[in-house]
Amino acid sequence: MSVVGKQLNPVQSSSATSSASSSTTVSGAAGSSSSESSNAVAAGASVAAGGDGKRGKEESNVTPEDVLHLTKITDDYLCSANANVFEIDFTRFKIRDLESGAVLFEIAKPPSEQYPDGLSIEETMLAAAEDLSLDDTADPNAGRYVRYQFTPAFLNLKTVGATVEFTVGSQPVNNFRMIERHFFRDRLLKTFDFEFGYCIPYSKNTCEHIYEFPNLPPDLVAEMISSPFETRSDSFYFVENRLVMHNKADYAYDGGIIV
């Protein structure tokens, strides 16, 4: 059975543009040595959601320790879209099955949505702002949520590599960290905690993390397949322990099933 997935809502983007690569094996939550496959796709939510290029002074007091102790999906976003003052923008995401080498999912922003040739990030942002209408700015959280659908076979994967490409703006980014919390209903499936390190201003950065998935209990797999979009994730992004981005996603694993 095919495991290729699809994104069910359209890409909405923002702004931003060394290549630092790393390989990480991530420990899961609740005593699990690793995580289940829906989490590898969560980074794709960030590509679809993108970083919000709007500058603002709104800051969040939420710490990494706070989100690591959450017992369920948050009801709302824990920081403003304007908190992304570093103009972090996710531009490409790909996951591949390391056993077969097959690309399972890939999404990328068109080059036209990244830096136009010859324009600085400030010029790009100014041009984008001039094109905004009242309707475009009505929902400050537009683009921070993504929905995905995969086939049941996706839950049987053992090891995948997740590659993410992102750009940053005019400020250096120190101690860039991502924490992802994945739940099925109110049950914590796993927590991923990644360190991206330091990014120089106006850089494009690429990183691949290696995910080793545990064997899921058959009853849990069956529930996840029969309950589309009840598997959900919160992705929190910190710079020097300050929350600058918060994206959400949910997942279905019933693709290709004929009722």
**What pLDDT shows up at residue 6?**
61
pLDDT of residue 64: 98
pTM value is 0.72
- 170-182 tens-digit pLDDT: 999 999 999 999 9
Contact of 41 with 58, CB cutoff 8 Å: no
Domain boundaries, the chain: 61-115+143-258
Q: What are phi and psi of 147, to 5 degrees?
A: -120, 135
Determine the pLDDT at residue 243: 98
Among 78-82, 108-112, 242-246, whose mean pLDDT is lowest? 108-112
Fold classification of 61-115+143-258 (topology level): Coagulation Factor XIII; Chain A, domain 1 (2.70.50)
Task: State the Cα–Cα distance between residues 83 and 69, nearest whole angstrom.
Answer: 22
CB 29 within 8 A of CB 188: yes
Whether pLDDT at 92 is above 50: yes
